[in-house]
């Protein structure tokens, strides 16, 4: 466990952005030294020189980290999250997932409902300095919270997909042999402690140490704020997970592997007023120069629908997406053709590529309007209003014709543990 006195870090970073202190292309304005390179990892070369005002996501609790791994997550000055595309086939597959779920002409009720449970997607993004390095531009699920308490929980009985190599399967099973029995794994969390005005954090090793006998107490740590157990947050979280479970029980077209639920609840004891803190960066308009520069570098890819399928512009197949992506992934981990590329399923036409027209989101301004509109809509009475539970991480999502039993099993077990916490 690590306890970091960082109650103001979020605000400092946010207000720096809000005040425009982080100059575009200005070296030395970003300090990512807190991340520190992990053994065997490579520090990203000079993010401060080409991030176009973006910074490593300060409140990331799991996954690949910018400046530590070769891919990672950034925050855009407009408050959105930028997830760097992983090497093929994972990154392109995740992009296709979002593109399909948010296709403008999507009329599939299953996908339309799914939009409620995943972050909003604003298309592909790249910095003017490295146009071939692609990012997914996503809603920051934590943006409405003053002191966001965040937990990433991987769901499913298997964290490798059906096309994974034997080596990958073994690697995954070794990481958490209990995955099959538990159906979920805590990847990371951070909790705001009201008594000490600090965040407590736990990384992936904490979750891997949890067994059947300790999982209830291990999970309940997320809901202890230093003064007591936040049963209101547990209860609201249960309601949200139940909705996601209902969606899974009603759909037979997608299977999710190594995908997570991101839990967020409000850690701040303050009550009243809009939840959106003034210090959050959303709402800031970048300089006109930045706007033009970035506008020109949003990846504008259009598509059309034929026989109910969204058809893509890049050679109409995954290979086109991979080709585009490879140009930006020369530094991809473990080379450009990992085992799961060789074992990848054929491009059966179900996964095609489209992103939104960037004209709708020049430099995030329309993004901001859209998010604010949605926030207005959410301010009505909502019993789970101070809690978000969203599905994230879609690098291993595949078409299917059956229920996703492994994910459903994980959700049910997670719900039963949450219920036990509630009845403590």
Ligand X SMILES: Nc1ncnc2c1ncn2[C@@H]1O[C@H](COP(=O)(O)OP(=O)(O)O)[C@@H](O)[C@H]1O
Question: Among the candidate windows 61-69, 158-166, 230-238, 338-346, which touches ligand X by CB under 6 A?
Answer: 61-69
Residue from 261, 393, 395, 397 touching Mg ion (CB under 5 A): that is: 393
CA distance 260 to 186: 9
**Residue 90: which of 311, 258, 266, 254 has the closest Cα?**
258
DSSP, residue by residue, 237-276: HHHHHHHHHHHHHT--SEEESSEEEEEEEE-----SS-SS
Q: Which residues contact 135 (CB under 8 A, 6 or more apart)?
A: 74, 82, 83, 84, 85, 124, 125, 126
Residue 62 interacting with ligand X (CB under 6 A): yes
Element holding 388 (H helix, E strand): strand 387-392
Residue from 54, 73, 81, 187 touching ligand 5MY (CB under 6 A): that is: 187
Please list every residue from 47 through 86 that binds Mg ion, using CB under 5 A.
63
Residue 258 interacting with ligand 5MY (CB under 6 A): yes
Residue 63 interacting with ligand X (CB under 6 A): yes
Q: What's the min distance (Å) between Cβ of 335 and Mg ion?
A: 21
Spatial contact of 97 and 85, defined as CB atoms under 8 Å apart? no
Residue 152 interacting with ligand X (CB under 6 A): yes
Residue 204 interacting with ligand 5MY (CB under 6 A): yes
Residue 281 interacting with ligand X (CB under 6 A): no
CA dihedral 317, 319, 320, 321 (to 10 degrees): 90
Residue 169 interacting with ligand 5MY (CB under 6 A): no
Residue from 60, 99, 100, 172 touching ligand X (CB under 6 A): that is: 60
Q: Which residues contact 198 (CB under 8 A, 6 or more apart)?
A: 3, 4, 5, 6, 7, 192
Return the number of the residue (223 or 256) whose C-beta is nearest Mg ion. Answer: 256
Q: What's the min distance (Å) between Cβ of 367 and Mg ion?
A: 23
CA distance 218 to 59: 21
CA distance 282 to 372: 9
**Residue 318: which of 90, 80, 152, 166 has the closest Cα?**
90
Residue 179 interacting with ligand X (CB under 6 A): no
Residue from 10, 90, 143, 230 touching ligand 5MY (CB under 6 A): that is: 90
Residue 78 interacting with ligand X (CB under 6 A): no
Return the number of the residue (254 or 293) whose C-beta is nearest ligand 5MY. Answer: 254
Q: Which residue has the tokens 């033009």?
A: 292
**Residue 176: which of 258, 120, 100, 112 has the closest Cα?**
258
Return the number of the residue (38 or 231) whose C-beta is nearest Mg ion. Answer: 38
Residue from 142, 172, 220, 297 touching ligand X (CB under 6 A): that is: 142
Q: What's the min distance (Å) between Cβ of 330 and ligand 5MY?
A: 16
Residues at the interface with ligand X (CB under 6 A): 57, 60-64, 73, 81, 83, 119, 138-142, 150, 152, 188, 260, 262, 392-393, 395
Residues at the interface with Mg ion (CB under 5 A): 63, 393
């Amino acid at each position: 466990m690590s306890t970091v006195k960082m109650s103001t870090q979020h605000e400092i970073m946010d207000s720096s952005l809000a005040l425009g202190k982080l100059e575009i292309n200005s070296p030395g304005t970003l300090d990512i030294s807190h991340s520190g390179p992990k053994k065997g990892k490579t520090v990203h070369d000079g993010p401060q020189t080409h991030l176009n005002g973006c910074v490593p996501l300060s409140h990331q609790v799991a996954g690949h980290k910018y400046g530590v791994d070769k891919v990672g997550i950034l925050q855009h000055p407009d408050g959105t999250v930028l997830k760097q595309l992983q090497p093929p086939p994972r990154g392109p597959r995740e992009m296709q997932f979002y593109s399909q779920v948010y296709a403008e002409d999507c009329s599939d009720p299953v996908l339309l409902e799914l939009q409620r449970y995943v972050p909003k997607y604003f298309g592909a993004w790249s910095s003017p300095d490295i146009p071939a390095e692609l990012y997914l531009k996503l809603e920051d699920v934590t943006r409405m919270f003053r002191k966001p308490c965040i937990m990433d929980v991987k769901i499913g009985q298997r964290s490798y997909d059906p096309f994974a190599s034997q080596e990958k399967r073994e690697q995954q099973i070794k990481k958490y042999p209990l995955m099959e029995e538990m159906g979920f794994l805590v990847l990371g969390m951070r909790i705001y402690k009201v008594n000490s005005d600090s965040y407590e954090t736990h990384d992936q090793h904490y979750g891997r140490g949890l067994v059947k006998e300790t999982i209830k107490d291990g999970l309940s740590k997320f809901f202890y704020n230093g003064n007591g157990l936040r049963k209101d947050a547990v209860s609201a979280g249960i309601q949200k997970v139940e909705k996601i479970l209902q969606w899974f029980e009603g759909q037979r077209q997608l299977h999710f592997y190594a995908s997570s639920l991101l839990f967020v609840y409000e850690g701040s004891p303050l009550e009243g007023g809009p939840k959106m803190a003034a210090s959050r960066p959303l709402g800031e308009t970048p300089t006109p120069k930045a706007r033009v520069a970035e506008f020109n570098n949003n990846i504008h890819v259009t598509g059309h629908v034929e026989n109910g399928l969204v058809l893509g512009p890049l050679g109409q197949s995954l290979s086109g997406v991979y080709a585009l992506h490879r140009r930006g992934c020369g530094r991809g981990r473990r080379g450009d053709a990992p085992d799961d590329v060789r074992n990848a399923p054929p491009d059966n036409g179900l996964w095609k590529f489209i992103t939104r027209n960037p004209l709708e989101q020049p430099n995030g301004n329309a993004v901001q309007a859209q998010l604010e509109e949605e926030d207005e809509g959410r301010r009505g009475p909502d019993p789970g209003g101070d809690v978000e539970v969203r599905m994230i991480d879609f690098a291993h999502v595949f078409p299917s014709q059956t229920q996703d039993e492994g994910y459903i099993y994980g959700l049910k077990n997670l719900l039963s543990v949450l219920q036990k916490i509630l009845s403590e």
